[in-house]
Structure 1
C-alpha cells in the first residue's frame, strides 16, 4: 500500500512539473533548457527529461539551431478543439433549450472524441426519466448510442471499420450491435434517412433520436439528441413530430456554424 501511495505521489509530481513547463512557455517566448529549468525551479537534468517526454508527444518543440523550446503543435490542437467545442455549445444552446421546452424530454449535445461520445451539454427534460448515465464531460461508447451513431455515420467509413475491428463491441443490452458489419449497415441507413435511433442499445430503458451537425467545411462537427424512457418514446419510428423538430434544430445549428447545404443525404 505504501509503495502504491509513493508511486501515486510521484506521478502527480511529474504531472505537476509538466504543467508548470507548459504554463511557463504559454507566454509565447522560446526558452533554453537553463531558462526553463530556472523558471520552474527544477534541476537541468530532470527538466531535460520532462522536455524530451513532452516533445515526444508534440506538446513541446525544440528549435535545432538555437536549442530553444516552445509549445508544440499538440497544444495548438488542444486549443482548437476547446475553442470549437465551446463555440458549438454557445451556438447550439438556444436550439437545445427550445427543443427541450417543446418536447419536454432530455436533450444532449455531443462530439466524437477518440471514437467515443463526449457530452458537451445536457438539458434535463421536464419529466422524470430515472437514471441516465449521460453528464457534461462524460463519455459513452459511440457504436451503441444515438449520438454516437449519428457522429460515426458521417465519419470516414474505413476509419470506423478499422477502429472497431481492433476494438471489440461490448454487448450492453439485448439490442446492442456487436458485429462490425451490422454497425456499418446501420450507419449507411442513418446517412440515408438523416438521423439515428437508439433502441435501448446502451441503457435498456432509454430511447433516443439523434441528428448530425455540420460545420462550414461540410464536415461532421457534433450531434444533438432527444432522449426519454421507452414508455414515452416507443415506438421510436412513430415520433415523427419530434424527429422533424430535431432535424430542424440540427439544420439551424449547422447553418449558424457556416454549413451551406440543406441536405444530410448519402453524399456526405
Structure 2
C-alpha cells in the first residue's frame, strides 16, 4: 500500500558552470596596452621581447620555444631573429637553436658608460671591497625585479653568478625591499596586487601582509636586512640612494655568507659604511 506521504521525486544535482582556464600572461600580451598608439613601434617591442627571453637558464632556444615563451607568433619570432642575426646581435650555429652574440654587450656597455649612477658607483664599490674584503652591489628597480648596475665580488656568496645586468626578484632581496619600500603608495599597491611570492627557501615571505609589514619596517629603520629568503646561507643588507628630489633611485648592498656574518655584525660593522657610500653616490647625482 503506498505511503500517505509521497516522497518527492529526487532531482539530479545541478552542475556548477566550470570557469574557463585563465590564460597566463605572456610578454607579448603586454603589448595590447599600446594598441592604437600611432607612435608605438610594435616591431621594435617584439624584438626586445625576443632578446629578453634568453636567460642564463635558457641561453639557446628554437623558434618554437621562443614563440611559446614570449607569446609571439612563430612568424614574428622568425622575423625578429632574422633581423638580429643580420645585425650581429644573435645567431644559430646549427641553424635551429638561436642565442645572443657578444655584440649584445655593446648595448649594456652603452648604458654603463652613459649612466652617471653606474659609472659613479663602480669605483665606490671597488674601494669598499678593497677595505672590507666583501662583495658590494648597486641596483635599481626595473618592473618587478632589481637590476644590478654596479658590482664587486670578492668571494662567491651565491649559487647564481651575479654580474652587471643580472636580475633578481624584488620581494625577497634586501635591495628589492629598499626600492619597494620607498615607492609611491599607488605603485606599491599595484606591485603587491600582481606579485607572485614564490618561496625560494623556507624563510621566504610569501604573504602580502607580511611583506607589507616588512616594507614598513624598512622605511622606519632606513635599511633592509634579508636573512636567507632568496638562498639558504645568503644574508644581505641594503640602504637607499636618494636623488636630489628626495626620491630613492637606487640601493647599495652588502651580501655575505650567513654563518660567517651574523646579523649583529652586519648591523654594527657595515650599516654606517653602506650609508656613507649611499650618501657619496647621491652627491654624484646633484
Shorter-chain TM-score category?
0.5 to 0.7
Which residue of 2 is the match for residue 247 of structure 1? Answer: 275
Counterpart contact for 1:161–1:184, Cα < 8 Å: no
Could you say what secondary structure the match of 2:159 adopts? Answer: coil
Partners of 2:158 and 2:171 in 1: how far apart?
Answer: 23
Note the C-alpha offset of 1:162: 2.5
Confirm whether residue 169 of structure 1 aligns to residue 197 of structure 2. Answer: yes
SS in 2 for 1:233: coil
Please give the TM-score of this superposition, normalised by the length of structure 1. Answer: 0.65
C-alpha separation in 1, matches of 2:235 and 2:114: 25
Say whether residues 1:14 and 2:79 are aligned partners.
yes
Query: What whole-Å deviation, never above 9, does each CA across 1:53-82 have from its counterpart, x for those lacking one?
Result: xxxxxxxxxxxxxxxxxxxxxxxxx9xx94
2:209 match: 181
Q: Does 1:143 align with 2:171?
A: yes
Q: Does 1:196 align with 2:216?
A: no
Relative to the length of structure 2, the TM-score reads 0.61
**For the Cα contact (< 8 Å) 1:146–1:196, is it kept in 2?**
yes
* Structure 2: unaligned runs, 5 residues or longer: 1-61, 68-72, 86-106
Larger helix share, 1 or 2: 1
Q: CA deviation at 1:160?
A: 1.7
Q: Does 1:95 align with 2:155?
A: no
Alignment partners' CA distance in 2, 1:192 and 1:6: 44
Matched residue count: 198
> Does 2:262 match 1:234?
yes
* Structure 1 unaligned blocks of 5 or more: 21-77, 259-268
**Which 4+ runs in 1 deviate beyond 3 A?**
2-13, 16-20, 81-85, 127-130, 236-239
Q: 1:11 to 1:97 in 2, by over 3 A?
A: same
Is 1:222 aligned to residue 282 of structure 2?
A: no
Matching residue of 2:235: 207
Instruction: Answer whether contact 2:203 2:228 (CA < 8 A) is retained.
Output: yes
